[in-house]
Structure 1
Amino acid sequence: MYRPKTTLEQWRILQAVVDHGGYAHAAAKLNKSQSSLNHAVAKLQSQLNVQLLEVKGRKAFLTEAGEVMLRRSRHLTQNVQELEFLAENINQDWEPEITVALDLAYPRELFYPALKAFHPQSRGSRLKIIDTVLTGTEEAITDGWADIVITGTVPKGYLGEPIAELYFIAVCHAEHPLAALPSPIDANELLHHLQLVIKDTSQSPNEKQGWLRSEQRWTVSHFNTAIELMLQGQGFCWLPTHTVEQHIVSGDLVKLEIQGSTFRKLVAWLVHPNPDTLGPGSKLLSELILAHRQIHNECAEREQRPEEN
């Protein structure tokens, strides 16, 4: 079994000498005698049989070999620090891993600012973000496999906080036959055209949402795939406005005005499947998501809704 020749304390002393520009300043910073630092670095060089520092005047400078060794030593001491921090977090019930089930319809630009704010406070917790759709999102709640769920529906027996209002609209290519029909389009006209559907991520999907009457249906796993197909002239699809807005503005896709159902409104909710056992990391991330919800809602008040366009 390999036994290290050096200690972490020796590497920390070397780092301090370099970072503070010499033995005197490093000794004051570490509250140690200058002679003890000199001895520690000298012993480190002797054990490695490599010269790491050379003194010029009153300052110590790294050799080329010292630069390489110092850089690698920083990874070593950082890893040890994170390992000890993780042990402390576990003792304080801070979760080593947090799982978020994120409904595909929820705009990522609303979620990412919360992640950015969470990272420096995350204490090294790993974050697992799983894209889910429809029943698959509900199962993350009812099966309890996620710590935080952002969903379009709150199952019976659970509570949620509303965090955004989303709008789904029917769209197709500007040259698709449906785009040439006079508005509003009779919903029966849709029966004769290819419908693109986003795949439910559940193992046992329950098709209880949306218009699914077309006999010709292609199922895809992501909004981007549906958009790419429509840009090729294939089919129509109900999609969140934020995913197709730029293509509508460019004129590549058009919004279909359908009699009785121009758009669908969806409220996104933040749900804790197991609120009684929610860890401090999950609580912090939830608070940041809710904080950014307030920012979004203030902005949303100044924007027009789809039906007002």
Structure 2
Amino acid sequence: MHRPKSTLEQWRILQAVVDYGGYAQAAEQLNKSQSSLNHAVAKLQYQLGIQLLEVRGRKAYLTEQGEVLLRRSRHLTQTVTELEQLASNLEQGWEPSLVIARELVYPMELLTDALAAFLPESRGTRITVVDTVINGTNELIVNNQVDLAICGVPPKGYIAEPLCDLEFHLVCHPDHPLASLGELEDDRELAQHLQIVIKDTGLNPSQEIGWLKAEQRWTVSNFHEAKVILAKGIGFCWVPQHLIQKEVAAGELVRLKMKGASTRRIVLTLVVPQRDNQGPASKLLESLILAKHADTSGDLMPYMLVEL
């Protein structure tokens, strides 16, 4: 009978070293010593007889052979993780905890309503809500790190249930120079001013999405921070309508109008990353979230503006 030369732990350590950009960073994330990680990868390479990593400077890089094997190892570790999770669900029957990824623009009031309805039936299930932006949301889905995810465009291969569409408005302070220009003919005027954008939460952002032509950009973590900056008369930003209704009504912010681009819309969807292993608590919460949007619908529109 053939006995494997390597262990799942060795492959998980290799994945962490690559994903976090080096032994020191991986050791911190895994709460292990750097020397133990070095030893595990060195032993794995010796057992396989193949060089998987090469260190240049302070960073470890995959070799060509290492890239092939790492890709295959991800399927293996993911399968084992899913198998263990399934066994846990079968044993416990009801999940002790649920993690929800919430795209930052999704109204927290809607999610809170669903959670409030879930609470009486929750059996003590602990809830963790993680605020994410674009690639950050999709990475959590692909890596099976969340039970439910409210996202924009889902990763390829995942089925998503539409929830609602959100409208974004281009806004600035009333004293900002852009506010006195009336309707803008095109985006050239915008490009001359400071733009406030929301940072993608992904570990490996791969593309830029939305209008990002301004030479000057300030990047912040959320729309609350963006609004604080706008209130000082600094910059312009695309902000979800529901987050600035009061400020616009009070005249604290003004909408900018531009021919053909005064408004943008996005659709938000609900994804269950591990549908085959979904437990009863997750199913209940999913149904409650969907129920909040049973009477709403929206058309697919361009995604939100962020800097990646």
| TM-score over 0.5 for the pair | yes
TM-score, normalised via structure 1 length? 0.65
Partner of 1:246: 246
Partner of 2:287: 287
Query: Once the 2 structures are TM-superposed, how far is the Cα of residue 272 of structure 1 from its aligned partner?
Result: 0.7
Q: Which portions of structure 1, spanning 4 or more consecutive aligned residues, are displaced by more than 6 angstroms?
A: none
Query: Once the 2 structures are TM-superposed, how far is the Cα of residue 260 of structure 1 from its aligned partner?
Result: 2.6
What is the CA–CA distance in structure 2 between the aligned matches of 1:205 and 1:263, rounded to whole Å?
A: 25
C-alpha change, 1:260 and 1:207, in structure 2 (3 Å) is farther
Query: Once the 2 structures are TM-superposed, how far is the Cα of residue 92 of structure 1 from its aligned partner?
Result: 4.1
Partner of 1:265: 265
TM-score, normalised via structure 2 length? 0.66
Matches within 5 A, 1:65-80: none
Tell me if 1:217 matches 2:214: no
Offset from partner CA, 1:124-150 (integer Å, 9 cap, x none): 111111000111111121221111000
What is the CA–CA distance in structure 2 between the aligned matches of 1:202 and 1:93, rounded to whole Å?
A: 32
Tell me if 1:231 matches 2:237: no
Q: Which runs of 5+ in 1 are unaligned?
A: 1-88, 301-309
Matched letter for residue 253 of structure 1: L
What is the CA–CA distance in structure 1 between the aligned matches of 2:263 and 2:207, rounded to whole Å?
A: 19
Offset from partner CA, 1:77-115 (integer Å, 9 cap, x none): xxxxxxxxxxxx973421111000000000111111100
Partner of 2:143: 143
Matches within 5 A, 1:142-221: 142-221=142-221
- If each structure's helix is expressed as a fraction of its own residues, which one has the higher value? 1
Tell me if 1:277 matches 2:277: yes
What is the CA–CA distance in structure 2 between the aligned matches of 1:163 and 1:260, rounded to whole Å?
A: 26
Which has the larger displacement, 181-190 or 222-231?
Answer: 181-190
CA contact (8 A) 2:165 2:265 kept: yes
How many residue pairs align between the two structures?
Answer: 211
Larger gyration radius, structure 1 or structure 2: 1
Q: CA RMSD in A?
A: 1.8
Which has the larger displacement, 183-192 or 230-239?
Answer: 183-192
What is the CA–CA distance in structure 2 between the aligned matches of 1:214 and 1:206, rounded to whole Å?
A: 20
CA contact (8 A) 1:187 1:259 kept: no
Query: Once the 2 structures are TM-superposed, how far is the Cα of residue 174 of structure 1 from its aligned partner?
Result: 0.9
